[in-house]
């Protein structure tokens, strides 16, 4: 019982200290987890390729030579975010909308995680 109470108290104290979770409070990370629903539908229109705020970034899930992306590196979140054969995914406009409604000092990072 004392062990459970101690663990609960430790967890409670850590949850009150924001530095335990983030070293940079202006750096937000969102993982977009899914399978084909995260890849999007092929066919990105020109209007979707313009005006992506550079504060919205994505980590390349695969090497993508056509866009000069290397797996595991960060890039501006210009579509497609996942693979060359994919299109707009839910993360595209989620990130754009989020950035548009946050202060200028905030950066948003989206990592598309394709499972299965």
State the pLDDT at residue 103: 93
SS3 at position 41: strand
Residue 43's pLDDT band (boundaries 50, 70, 90)? confident
- Residue 5, token pair as written in the block: 């109470």
Residue 16: how many other CB atoms lie within 10 Å: 7
Range ranked top by mean pLDDT from 43-52, 68-77, 102-111? 68-77
Alpha-carbon distances, residue 47 vs 44, 52, 79, 88, 116 (angstroms): 8, 10, 11, 12, 31
| Mean pLDDT calculated for residue range 56-77 | 87
User: DSSP class of residue 111?
Assistant: E
Helix (H) or strand (E) holding 2: helix 2-16
CA–CA distance, 20 with 86 (Å, rounded to integer): 37
Averaged pLDDT score across all residues of the chain: 78
CA–CA distance, 97 with 31 (Å, rounded to integer): 16
Higher-confidence residue of 49 and 14: namely 49
């Amino acid at each position: 019982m004392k062990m459970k109470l101690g663990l609960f108290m430790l967890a409670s104290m850590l949850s009150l200290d924001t530095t335990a979770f983030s070293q940079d409070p202006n750096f937000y990370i969102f993982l977009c987890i899914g399978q084909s629903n995260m890849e999007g539908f092929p066919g990105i229109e020109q209007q979707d390729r313009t005006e992506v705020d550079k504060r919205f970034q994505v980590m390349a899930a695969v090497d993508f030579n056509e866009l000069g992306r290397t797996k595991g590196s960060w890039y501006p979140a210009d579509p497609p975010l996942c693979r060359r054969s994919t299109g707009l995914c839910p993360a595209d406009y989620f990130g754009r909308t989020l950035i548009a409604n946050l202060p200028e000092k905030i950066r948003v990072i989206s990592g598309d995680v394709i499972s299965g």
